[in-house]
Amino acid sequence: MGEDGGAERRFLTDAALGRLARYLRMLGYDTVYLKGRDGAAVLRETLRTARTLLTRRRDLAAREDIDAFLVEDDDVLAQLSATARRFALRFTAAAMTRCIECNELLREVSKEAVLEMLPPHVRKTQETFARCPGCGRIYWPGTHYARAVARLLNALREG
């Protein structure tokens, strides 16, 4: 955890795909989530940042002046599978290196640096930690980490 392992494609998701954005961040992909923006704002940001737009809106996906992909499924893991198929996404060293909340790259920190912020059980059982420099969220490879990795690998296999 904590260093960019090389996920190169950069995404932008519109307001309907916030959960997909979180899963792409788990995979290590630089993914901006535009919550509450109208189509014109999404288009402007896509053009400004030269990111690949993932959208539920057919009108945006059909535009020829941007790189866009229409995400049709309602289920987030099916969305991830379809996106993985379309862009040949893989589980790489970049996985689990981004904050799922704000997209910043995580930084490894010592246990001592975050000790006071940890739940008692985590203090006793974990030794490896990362912190988001943007929002301050703390990450560690507990059971939730293993479950998330399993969900990601399953979605990628289906993709």
DSSP string of 88-135, one letter each residue: T----TTTT-B-TTT-PBPEEE-HHHHGGGS-HHHHHH---EEE-TTT
Domain ranges of the chain: 10-158
From CA 118, how far away is CA 80, in angstroms rounded?
31
Q: Which residue has the tokens 């988001």?
A: 132
Confidence (pLDDT) at 159 = 64
Contacts (Cβ under 8 Å, ≥6 apart) of 143: none
Confidence (pLDDT) at 101 = 96
Crossing angle of helices 143-158/18-26, nearest 10°?
100
Q: Are strands 10-13 and 30-33 parallel, antiparallel or unpaired?
A: parallel
CB atoms within 10 A of CB 83: 26
Three-class SS of residue 25?
helix
Cα→Cα distances 78→21, 71, 88, 106, 157, Å: 13, 9, 15, 27, 11
Confidence (pLDDT) at 52 = 97
pTM, entire model: 0.90
Mean pLDDT split into 10-residue runs, the chain, 159 residues: 59 96 96 90 95 96 96 96 95 94 97 96 96 97 90 86
CB atoms within 10 A of CB 53: 27
Confidence (pLDDT) at 4 = 42
Element (H, E) at 52: strand 52-55
Long-range own/partner contacts, residues 35-41 (CB < 8 A, 24 or more apart): none
Q: Which residues of 56-65 are buried (b: 16+ CB within 10 A; e: fewer)?
A: bbeebbeeee
